[in-house]
Chains A and B, each alone.
Chain A
Amino acid sequence: MKLYNVKLLTITCEILAQENIIEILKKHEITGYTTYEVDGNGARGLRGQGLKNEKNVKVEVIMREEKLQDVVEEISRTLFANYAIVLYVSDVGVLRPEKF
């Protein structure tokens, strides 16, 4: 089995920033992603309780390294200042690199 190296970008953010992130992904021609609602605690206190609009989501995107730079740059430039957001990148292996 041959695994190809690609990057996994994981973004945990408030649910109201989700749309902005997906827009940025779209701009960079990335259409595949996975999101799920999560709870947690962080710099802005316990999140995920109460109003729906105050929940957190986790967005996972697999992409090639070439695109990663631009995407991360744009997210940090446009969203870091105003939204509750945490972002990290990990190396993952996939079987079908042509999908990403």
Chain B
Amino acid sequence: MEILELIQANLLTPIILFFLFGIIAARIKSDLKIPEAISEFLPIYLLAAIGLHGGIEMRNTGFENMLIPMFVAIGLSLLFTLNHYQILRRLGKFNLFDSYALASTYGAVGAVHFSIGLSFLKNQGVSSEGYIAAILAVLEPLAFILAIFMTNMAVAKQIKTKKQSFSDDNAEIDIGLNQTKTKLSKVLHESITGKAIVILLGSIVIGYIIGKEGFEPIKIVFDDMFTGAIVIFMIEMGIIAGQRLDDIKKVGVFLTSFAIIIPLFNGIIGVLVSTALGLSVGGAVMFGLLMASASFIAAPAVLRHAIPQAKPSLYITSALGITFPFNIIVTLPILFTISTFVHSGEGAIDLFNFITEGF
């Protein structure tokens, strides 16, 4: 019951209402549009605010505590990506390229999700560990790199088997492997120097340096205006999602259910695991949300180059049109309820036993 109430309350927050409003505006074919410069500026602003917030909090908690959650997050993210691939390829019967592209879209993290999560927690009066912003930065390129690596290996293997039926000449396979290497290093370089990671890491460092007192003069922009800025961005997100609503039919029943069940499942695992690691109520929600989120801003830019054979209409539409609305409306309150529940009940150690028994 409590979950339903929370979902209902969440539905009536400005963030969600403006998102739904954006969808409606797109459906009635209004020419409402957020100017391009602003919709490009807002993700940068949001990442800067997330980074500053994270950096300031990290100054209080220190670096040591973040190592274990970070490695666990990396492990989970890779595990989830491989798991998604198996589900999509075997049950969903998607081709290799679409499977890996979708698997990594859902294994990757979303900065917009993250901002909404922070704002949600702020609304509930709950704080979270700052280092989760650093985890966000580390996870950003991870799932893509794995998927690109796996795809190229699979393609190289295919070429190999085809080649062997003709001759034992290995030259072409070497070319294939070399291409894989250059592709991977290029993706790695592009994502690390990409604007998302650069602004996020830069703001974490600056936040760490300036601390609470240094933040005071810019607080009005990066803290007080944070939710307001998300609201403006939500109009844009709503419009884009609304324009894609027709495409959802093309996505199919299987992928639609995948886009709803998988994030929820990943998110709940994330909350339980991070609670077992000793994260706070808010921290576990943010950790779970990272696991639940799907990437729709970074994903097309990376995947279109690295796995051009995959259909972008599939991974963008499912991540932005289905998973994103579902996550911010339903998954987030559920994760919050679960996190509150497991934190109020038994201790972290019991819970860890519970999880390991569960597997």
Residues of A bordering B, CB below 8 Å: 14, 16-17, 19-20, 44, 49-54, 81-83
Q: Which of A44, A49, A52, A53 contacts B304 (CB 8 A)?
A: A53
Tell whether, in the assembled complex, residue A82 and residue B308 are in contact, meaning their CB atoms are under 8 Å apart: yes
Tell whether, in the assembled complex, residue B40 and residue A50 are in contact, meaning their CB atoms are under 8 Å apart: no
7 contacts between A and B (CB under 8 A): A14-B304, A16-B304, A50-B240, A50-B243, A51-B316, A53-B300, A53-B304
Tell whether, in the assembled complex, residue A53 and residue B301 are in contact, meaning their CB atoms are under 8 Å apart: yes
- A53–B240 Cα distance when bound, in Å, is 12
User: Cβ of B305 < 8 Å from any Cβ of A?
Assistant: yes
Could you tell me which residues of chain B, from 290 to 321, have a CB within 8 Å of some CB in chain A?
Answer: 296-297, 300-301, 304-305, 308-309, 312-313, 316
Could you tell me which residues of chain B, from 1 to 38, have a CB within 8 Å of some CB in chain A?
Answer: 36
- A95–B312 Cα distance when bound, in Å, is 43
User: Given the known A-B contacts A16-B305, A19-B305, A83-B308, are A50 and B297 also in contact in the complex, defined by CB atoms under 8 Å?
Assistant: no
Could you tell me which residues of chain B, from 311 to 343, have a CB within 8 Å of some CB in chain A?
Answer: 312-313, 316
Give the most central of A19, A82, A83: most B CB within 10 Å. A82
- A36–B304 Cα distance when bound, in Å, is 20
Interface of B is mostly: helix
- A24–B11 Cα distance when bound, in Å, is 49
A54 to chain B: which residues have CB within 8 Å?
300, 312, 316
User: Cβ of B239 < 8 Å from any Cβ of A?
Assistant: yes
- Extra pairs beyond A16-B305, A20-B305 (12, CB < 8 Å): A17-B304, A44-B313, A49-B243, A50-B243, A51-B296, A51-B300, A53-B297, A53-B304, A54-B300, A54-B312, A81-B309, A83-B308
- A44–B317 Cα distance when bound, in Å, is 14
User: Given the known A-B contacts A52-B40, A82-B308, A82-B309, are A16 and B301 also in contact in the complex, defined by CB atoms under 8 Å?
Assistant: yes
- A54–B303 Cα distance when bound, in Å, is 13
